Structures are given as C-alpha cells and as structure tokens.
Amino acid sequence: MSLRHFLHLSDVGGEGIAHILNEAMERKERRAGWPRGKPDADKPLEGHVLAMIFERNSTRTRLSFDMAMRQLGGTTIVIDGGSSQLGRGETIADTARVVSRYVDAIMVRTDHHDKAELLAEHSDVPVINGLTDLSHPCQLLADMQTVIERRAKLAGSRWAWLGDGNNVCNSVIEAASLMHFGLAVACPNGFEPDVAMCAMASTRDDIYFTDNPREAIEGAEVVLTDTWISMGQEDGEYRNEAFAPFQVNEALMAFAAPGATFLHCLPAHRGEEVTDAVIDGPQSAVWDEAENRLHAQKALLLWALGKLD
Ligand code: CP
Ligand code: NVA
C-alpha cells in the first residue's frame, strides 16, 4: 500500500472523507460519557507515535492531535522549529529521512506548502498537513463534521465564505468541490483565494466568487470567516480598511438563511472579522467545531495508519 499522506483533502477523495467523518462521529458518540483520563476502549494505535513539527504557533491543532493519539492508545513527540536542527538550517528532506526512521506518522504545520510536499516526498511514513500557507485540510474535516451534526447533510447545503482568500478558504473550496455543497466566496479585490484551488471548482455553477459580501451571504446555511491577517502576514495592518465590509456582524448575518450556522476555525479577532454578538450568539458552532478537530483527526489518523479503509 502506498503511503497515505494527507496534504490535501483530495488525497482522501470524497468517499474517503465521508468514511472518515462517519468514523469521527461514531467515535465521538462512543466517547460521550466516557470517563476523562481514559483512552478509547479499543486503543487501535497502541504503540504508535506521531511526530508533530511546528514552524508556526498552534493551540487547537497541537492539543487535538496530541489528545487524539492518546485516546487511540498512542503518543506524540513535538518538534519545534526553534529548538530542533530545522531552526539551524537542516534541510526538510534530511529531517524527513531521519524523523521517519523513528516514528509512525508526521504532522507538520509550516509556512510554505512546498515544505510539507518535500517532507512527504522524503518520508517513509504518512505526513499530515496541519496547516500551510496554502491550505488547512484538517480544519475542514472538523467543519464538515460540525455541519453534518447541525444540519444533517453536506451535499446540496449552501455555504458562504466572507473575508480573506486564505489557507482555510482554499480548503473550503476544495471541500465544496469534493463533497458537492454550494459555496459563495466573497473576498476584497486583491485578496482572492489560490488560483489552482479556484480552478478545481470551475466546472461547478454552485461555487462562485464575488467581492460583494451581501451577495455571498444571501440565503447561506453555513457562514464562515477567519482572521484578516494570517500567521506570517503580521505586517498587514493596512488590510483592515479593505476588509471592514466583510465583517460578520448581526446586520450581515440577517441576510443568511434563518438558523444559519456560523463557523470560525479560531483563533478569532473579535471586533475585526466577527463581532462578539455573532461568535457568542445562538448561531455560532465554533466550540463544537474546535472540539471536532479531536474527533475528525482521530479518524484521519486511523486512515493514515491503515486502520480505516
Ligand atoms: N484552527 C486552528 O488550526 O487553530 P490553531 O492555530 O490553534 O491550531
Ligand atoms: N488563516 C489562519 C488560520 C489559523 C488557524 C492562519 O494561517 O493564521
């Protein structure tokens, strides 16, 4: 069997994603009421170790992968850019060759997507993309799980993305292409998503792009946004003016479908891309979304390690 890298959602495909989401929801259900501090009853990854390489900050990704491995009976090792030899210039290829001699899988969060590709190319174990400048596929597994929980189905549902055409936005487009849900992406001019990701959606007339946030959100059942300044863009204060009309506030949410679900990958910049009233309001599913990172990644790890077909 070839290595099951997960750099893009398309590495799993639509059917594979559906299978992973089912497994995630089943495991979540089985875990309900389970005593804290105990691994899952079956411990399918007992003895397995996941190395987690971080060249960017993280709270959710780090904790959810760590807890996912622990609950599945495995363990993790964190390698951060600052204290490892990566920080002193050891190449990604050599790092991949060495790390994959020790561990069973690698999760990487890094700045340039090419680095994740290079890591996978030179690794003897599966490599999982835990966010790059191009995409954040793990986030979308959790987002899709949250939408299924709230709205019962993905196919045919209508999503709207408002704000920066960033890594998370790119993965939303990929998810819509693979899982057949409708998507309107509204970004200011000059902040559009990746051209190749958009090309994936070019055959679909229910995925479209606009610079008009009101047009995008009209009738949407799922509304998503993210920070206007992603990691590595910290000199981007000038962006706030261009993005102001894209703020998800109560006035804009009023144009979404009644009972629309609000999602945000977090961390949120309250008062910028989203107001307190929306993120803390009844339509917000952000805490379930964050929790679902754990459940979705448990299923993803099982898939990557050949324990789930
Ligand atoms: N959403 C997400 O990936 O959060 P972290 O940056 O905290 O990992
Ligand atoms: N777009 C954000 C996502 C953080 C999880 C970033 O890259 O910083």
The pLDDT tens digits for 184-241 are 999 999 999 999 999 989 889 999 999 999 999 999 999 999 999 999 998 777 888 9
The pLDDT tens digits for 113-124 are 999 999 999 999
| 168 Cα: distance to centroid of ligand 2 (angstroms) | 7
CA-CA-CA-CA dihedral for 295, 297, 298, 303, to nearest 10: 130
The pLDDT tens digits for 236-265 are 778 889 999 999 999 999 999 999 999 999
Kindly give the residue spans of alpha helices, DSSP state H, lying in the chain: 13-31, 60-71, 92-102, 113-122, 137-151, 167-179, 195-200, 213-217, 239-243, 250-253, 276-279, 286-304
> Which of 52, 61, 78 for a ligand 1 pocket mutation test, highest count of atoms within 8 Å of Cβ?
61
Closest CA to 58 of 123, 23, 108, 106: 108
Indicate the average pLDDT of the chain.
Answer: 96
Q: Is 112 a catalytic residue?
A: no
Q: What pLDDT score was predicted for residue 298?
A: 98
Q: What pLDDT score was predicted for residue 1?
A: 65
Cut 0.75: pTM above it:
yes
| 220 Cα: distance to centroid of ligand 2 (angstroms) | 23
Q: What pLDDT score was predicted for residue 151?
A: 85
pLDDT at 73 over 90: yes
Percent of the chain with pLDDT over 70: 100
Q: Is 64 in the pocket of ligand 2 (CB under 6 A)?
A: no
Percent of the chain with pLDDT over 90: 92
For residue 269, what pLDDT band results from cuts at 50, 70 and 90? very high
Q: What pLDDT score was predicted for residue 110?
A: 97
**Distance (Å, whole) CA 162 – CA 260:** 14
Q: Is 226 a catalytic residue?
A: yes
Closest CA to 273 of 163, 184, 165: 163
The pLDDT tens digits for 134-164 are 999 999 999 999 999 998 889 999 999 999 9
